[in-house]
Chain A
C-alpha cells in the first residue's frame, strides 16, 4: 500500500516540475525570437498552414455558433418582450468570448497536434539532433517560426470568425426570427466598442502563443518512439485547451472585471 499523502505529494511535485520545464522552454523560445537568424520563409509557410488551412473549420464553427446563439437569445428574450436585444448580445458574446475561444480551441485541435506530431517525429528520428550538427539552432529553425506565425495569424483568423459569427446571428435573426435587417446591423454597430475588438485580438494573439508553445514543447521533448509521439500529440492538445480557457478567464477578468 502506498501512502496516499505520498501519492498526493508526488503528483503535486510532478506538476510543479512540469510547469517549471514548460516555463523554461517558453523563456528560451521567446529569447530566441530576439536572437537572429529568424527564418521568415518558414514562418510564412507556417502562417499559411495555421491560417489559411484553418479558415473552413473556424468559419463553420463561428457560423453555427452565432446562429444558435441568436436563436437562444431570441427565445430567452421573448419572455420579457426583449427580442430586440438579440443583435447586441450576439455581437458582444461572439467578439468578447466565443469568437476567440472557439476559434482558438478549433485551431489548437488542428495545429497543436500537428506541430507536436511533426516535431515529435523529428525528435525520435534524430532530425532535431541533426540540425545541431548542421550549425542550425533547432529552436530558431523549428520553434520560433511557429510561435511568430501563430501569434500573427490567430488575430486575423479570429477577426474572420467574429465577422462570420455575427453574420450567422444576422441570418437566423432576419430570415427566421423576423428581425429587421437594417435595425439588426444598426444595433450591432451601436453595441460594439473598440475595447471589445482590442480585447478579442489580444486574446487571439495570446491563444496563438499558447497553441504554438504547447505543440512545440510537447513535440520537442517527446521520447519513446511512436507511442511517445502519440502521447505528445494528445498532451499538446489537452494542455493547449486548458491553457486557452484559463488565459481567457484571466484576460476577461482583467479587461472587463471593473465594468459594472
Chain B
C-alpha cells in the first residue's frame, strides 16, 4: 500500500518551463507531492510560485514539461477533459477571490451547485456546516462578501475550498494581509481542515511562521527552480545559503532582490 502510494504521487511536476515574453519564470521546475502530504513552496515575491499552482490548474500553460495529477498527465488535456481532475482540487486564493455578486453561503456552495448540480437546499446546509467548521456563525452566510473583514473573507475562502471535500487543496499565500494572530488562527484552521479531509496540500507562502505550521515538507523556489527541499525539521540546518537568507529575512546574502518588475 505504501509502496503503491510512492509509485503514483498525487502531484508530479517535471522540468516545467514557463516564460512571459523574455522573462523565464519557471525554468526546469520539478516537484513531487505524495498522497496525504503537505508541501509548502517558499520563495520571494515574483519568483513564480503562483505560476506553478496555476499551471497545475491549467489556467496557465507551460511551454515544456510534464504535470501529472494522481497519475494523469494534464498538460495535454483539453479544458473539458481536465474537468474531472479539477473536481479533485480545491483552492484558497490570496485575496480569497470571493464572488461579490452573490451572498457568502452561495460562495461556499458554489462548487456544489454549479459544479456538481446539487440542489440549493442541500447545498445550503453543507455550506452552513462548512462555515461553522471555519468558525463562522450561520448568519454570516447571508451577508455579502464585501461586508466581511479580511480574516473572515479568508475563512469563507477556506470553507469554499473544502466544501466539495477535495483530495487536493492549494493554498496561495493563506496569511498575506492578516495580522499575526489572525494568521495563526487561519494556519490552525488549515491544519485541522486538512487533517479532517486527509487531503494532499500544496501551498505557497513567504510567511515562514505559516510554512512551519502547515508544512510536512518545504521546498524553496529561486530563479525558476526548486533549489532546496526537505522535511520542515531540516529547514534550519539546510546548509543552503539561499534558504538561510530567506528564512531569516536578511537583506544581505546570495539572493539579490529585483526591485523592478522585469
A binding-site residues for B, Cβ under 8 Å: 35, 122, 125-127, 129-130, 132-137, 141
Contact = CB atoms under 8 A, between A and B. Distances in A.
B115 A125 contact: no
Interface residues of B, number: 28
B116 interface: yes
A133 B90 contact: yes
Contact of B115 (A122, A126, A129, A136): A136
Contact of A133 (B86, B94, B95): B86
Contact of B110 (A122, A129, A136, A137): A136
Given A133-B89, A134-B110, A141-B114, A126 B58 contact: no
B99 A130 contact: yes
A141 B98 CA distance: 15
10 contacts: A35-B80, A127-B98, A129-B54, A129-B93, A129-B97, A130-B91, A130-B93, A130-B97, A133-B86, A135-B114
A132 B97 contact: no
Contact of B57 (A35, A125, A129, A136): A129
Given A126-B95, A132-B57, A141-B114, 10 more contacts: A35-B80, A125-B95, A129-B54, A132-B86, A133-B86, A133-B111, A134-B114, A134-B115, A134-B160, A135-B87
Contacts of A132: 57-59, 86
Q: Chain B at the A interface: mostly helix, strand, loop or mixed? A: mixed
B94 A126 contact: yes
B95 A135 contact: no
A47 B91 CA distance: 32
Given A125-B97, A141-B114, A133 B79 contact: no
Interface in B102-128: 110-111, 114-116
Nearest to A126: B97
B24 interface: no
The 4 closest A-B pairs by CB, nearest first: A135-B115, A134-B111, A126-B97, A130-B97
B83 interface: yes
A104 to B, nearest CB: 26
Contacts of A126: 93-95, 97
Contacts of A137: 79
Interface centre among A126, A136, A137, A141 (most CB of B within 10 A): A126
Which of B58, B97, B115 has most chain A Cβ within 10 Å? B97
Interface in B62-110: 79-80, 83, 86-87, 89-91, 93-95, 97-100, 110
